[in-house]
Structure 1
Amino acid sequence: MTELHLWLRHEVRPTERRTPIVPSDARRLVESGVTLTVEESPQRIFPVEEYEAVGARVAPARSWESAPAAAVILGLKELPDSPGRLTHRHIFFGHAYKGQPGAAELLRRFTAGGGELLDLEYLVDDTGRRLAAFGYWAGYLGAALAVLQHRGRLTAPLAPTSKEELDETLRPAAGDADFTALVIGALGRSGRGAGVALRAAGAEPTCWDLDETRDLDRPALLAHDLMVNCVLATTPIPPFLREEDLDDPARRLRTLSDVTCDVGSPLNVLPVYDRTTEWTDPVRRLRKEPPLDLIAIDNLPSLLPKEASEDFSASLLPLLLGFEAGGTWGRALDRFHQACREHGIEEGELPHV
């Protein structure tokens, strides 16, 4: 493989504790000849000493800005607002290809500096199947938090935990009433995770996917007590919930968990809220009477940072070991250039100030 220098950056979001590469897989990279630099990060679930022990170099947080030009900067969530010109190739979830707020500005930062975005969401095989995703744990946690809220046992602020501890809180307790649950997108990674969490809570969910949503039965949807949305639309489809549905007098739905959090996108299938919720304030009441509570946290897997990181790293490792111009990485680069064209952004165009 071409000599590769990977630079694992510190995450600027305070609640982001995951990592795309865990120390055991970092060892594999180093042994294969990859130069790996890991930034110090007090919040990363794995301490930097574990990376150093397997042969990685250590650098201060945010030193990626002055990394060698050929280094590929690896992260998960959003970049800091500066610098305005991004000169490196970056691998992370950019959320910039579907008209999301701030998308054009992020792309302009890359074109202004000559850098490139290799978006983790668009690492796909030649059939379009995603090759690395946190979906299972996002669905699991989205459903778990919805159950705890529905039962009146969700406390804030949220804090990272382990699967064993979370499963213990999900088990039905004396006095817990039965509830009906619906998972939309049940056949995908997130949907499968949501189903496992709901069953751990003692509920057998109704499972909908493409066949059930082509001709949506809205009364049936609203007749469930709890709903978990795991659908990330890639083409326009009718929304699953509309404002008028929330005011339907027959609505039984009381708890809504949106795992996808596609707020701001024209493809959003739940256009009934305008901002996500946070670890400090995880629930927003959309209607007072009858009540309807929303959970929409866009980094759910960080609540189980060890399990989520280990699964994701196992999927990403073979792609990094095969890092090259074509194939999966070539498709990701093509998608970046396509997005720039779609926004009318030309090479060297500066971000708006």
Structure 2
Amino acid sequence: MLRTILRREHKNRWERRAALVPESIAQLAAQKIPVAVEPCSIRAFPDEAYKAQGAELHNDLENFQLVLGIKEPPVASIAPQQVHLCFSHTIKGQPYNMGLLQKFIDQRATLIDYEPIVDERGVRTIAFGRFAGIAGAIDSFFVLGQKWLKMGKPTAYARIKQTKDYPSLSEIKSELAQLRVTNDKPLHVLIVGTGNVGKGAKEVCQWLGLPEVAIDEVLAQKAPKSSWFSVASARHLHERIGGGAFDYQEYLQLGKAQYRSIFDRLLGQFELLIQTPYWTDKYPAHLDIARMNENMQALPLVVGDISCDVNGSLKCTKKISTIDEPAYSYFVENDGIQDGIHADGISVMAIDNLPCELPVDASRHFSAILTRYVPELVKMDLNQTLTHSGLGKELQRAVIVYNGTVMPEFTYLQHYLDRHKLTKPSEAS
């Protein structure tokens, strides 16, 4: 059995989540699977809560074979032959983490990433998507309320707080339900995406009491003038070049080579846009510079870009915002930005660690799922090939590096590793 420890998170002061909560530690101990805990002063669950459940506190990560965390670990912490489970942020070849990926290779260590853990249908089984959607939507409504105040238009939305200022989900639901925003200035919200993030954003609209309008009505310019929200998926926002019916699998395979965005047909009908889907340059952009210039008077007041794709599908997303400074203003006329919420321009919320604003609720959800995988992880036989290591198919598919070797499904990352090696000397100079 691999000696296991829960690592503390180090990314920033807002990363208070835990991959395993104290109750899960106790549940595993009852199965004779002890999990030690690295002490942490900012974790949403204090060290004493873990000790009360029988966990031992240790600072020596190098003496453990299996390290459980959420965000990527510090590069220097990777010990030889060690196994780490985390969101490594390497799958897209992110330049800032190629050094981390190389460290796993050099140390003959093993990297298992949460993101590729999917079931047989390809659906992710362990993630914070719902909480990103909830926090992102709340923060977007918060920004909208403050923007309308700057414009001299006080509304009930101005009483919505940033997610971090609510103690729990139950408090959020209770407070939002009391606002009665449907009696206020009409608001129209477009949610793009129907995955877990989009569903989380939809929940917030429902808690506010906003009625849902079918996206087909919005596309047909038949949406009511009163408040509403609507949800659009890829098939509503793209058309096939040359005509023909939208085919989702073809869209995924060919992207902008066969499809173009028709997002301009929706512009002018909503004040708040909440963007949630995964996006790469393979796919059409919805708000490029040309489209924004052509539709300057029809652009939304606020963009909540939960996907946080800088210069991606929404070119107004010029940088990542932060929990401390949740929004900045984008100005189409000069393609420039200014920190803070202002009366003019598009206010952009693009926080990339939104679930950190709900550390207790998000951790409990995540921990309940991870606990089911831990018995399988601790029994890994690292002396065998990955196929015979004892891991099931779900976890095998999520192994990026095994004993220092990049797995076949991820060999495309070698291109990014090579680029990192070429640029590393200049970065150090």
TM-score by shorter chain over 0.5? yes
Partner AA of 2:205 in structure 1: L
Q: CA RMSD in A?
A: 2.8
Matches within 5 A, 1:54-65: 54-60=53-59, 63-64=60-61
Q: Which residue of 2 aligns with 1:316?
A: 370
Matches within 5 A, 1:289-308: 290-308=344-362
Partner AA of 1:283 in structure 2: A
Q: Which moved more, 1:270-279 or 1:38-47?
A: 270-279
1 CA distance for matches of 2:301 and 2:81? 47
2 CA distance for matches of 1:116 and 1:262? 28
CA contact 2:238–2:263 (8 Å) conserved in 1: no
**Distance apart, 1:55 and its partner CA:** 2.4
**Distance apart, 1:157 and its partner CA:** 10
Q: Which residue of 1 aligns with 2:317?
A: 273
Partner AA of 2:63 in structure 1: A
1:72-100: CA deviation from partner (whole Å, max 9, x where unpaired): 11111133353587752211111111132
CA contact 1:156–1:280 (8 Å) conserved in 2: no
Residues 83 and 50 (structure 1), Cα distance of their counterparts in 2 relative to 1, 3 Å cut: closer
Please tell me whether residue 209 in structure 1 is matched to residue 228 in structure 2.
Answer: no
2 CA distance for matches of 1:159 and 1:332? 35
1:157-187: CA deviation from partner (whole Å, max 9, x where unpaired): 954631233335534368842210011112x
1:303-349: CA deviation from partner (whole Å, max 9, x where unpaired): 11111111111122212223243422211115753435532449xx8
- Counterpart among 184, 193, 197 of residue 185 in structure 1: 193
Larger radius of gyration: 2
- The DSSP-based 3-state class of the residue aligned with 1:92 is strand
Structure 1 spans left out of the alignment, 5+ residues: none
Q: Which residue of 1 aligns with 2:284?
A: 238
Residues 270 and 89 (structure 1), Cα distance of their counterparts in 2 relative to 1, 3 Å cut: farther
2 CA distance for matches of 1:148 and 1:260? 18
Residues 58 and 253 (structure 1), Cα distance of their counterparts in 2 relative to 1, 3 Å cut: same
Residues 31 and 163 (structure 1), Cα distance of their counterparts in 2 relative to 1, 3 Å cut: same
Q: Which residue of 2 aligns with 1:284?
A: 328
1:231-254: CA deviation from partner (whole Å, max 9, x where unpaired): 013782112221233332232401
CA contact 2:237–2:263 (8 Å) conserved in 1: no
Matches within 5 A, 1:1-353: 3-12=1-10, 13-60=12-59, 63-64=60-61, 66-68=62-64, 71-83=65-77, 88-152=82-146, 153=158, 158-159=164-165, 161-171=167-177, 172=179, 176-186=184-194, 188-204=195-211, 205-215=229-239, 216-223=261-268, 224-233=270-279, 236-247=282-293, 248-263=295-310, 268-287=312-331, 290-323=344-377, 324-334=390-400, 337=407, 338-344=409-415, 345=417, 352=424, 353=428
- The DSSP-based 3-state class of the residue aligned with 2:322 is coil
- Aligned residue pairs total 340
CA contact 1:96–1:107 (8 Å) conserved in 2: yes
Partner AA of 1:8 in structure 2: L
CA contact 2:15–2:43 (8 Å) conserved in 1: yes
Structure 2 spans left out of the alignment, 5+ residues: 147-157, 212-228, 240-260, 332-341, 378-389
Structure 1 or 2: more helix by fraction: 2
1 CA distance for matches of 2:299 and 2:310? 24
2 CA distance for matches of 1:86 and 1:212? 49
Partner AA of 1:23 in structure 2: P
Residues 81 and 319 (structure 1), Cα distance of their counterparts in 2 relative to 1, 3 Å cut: closer
The TM-score with structure 1 as length reference comes to 0.86
Residues 131 and 194 (structure 1), Cα distance of their counterparts in 2 relative to 1, 3 Å cut: same
**Distance apart, 1:263 and its partner CA:** 3.3
1 CA distance for matches of 2:291 and 2:166? 34
**Distance apart, 1:271 and its partner CA:** 4.0
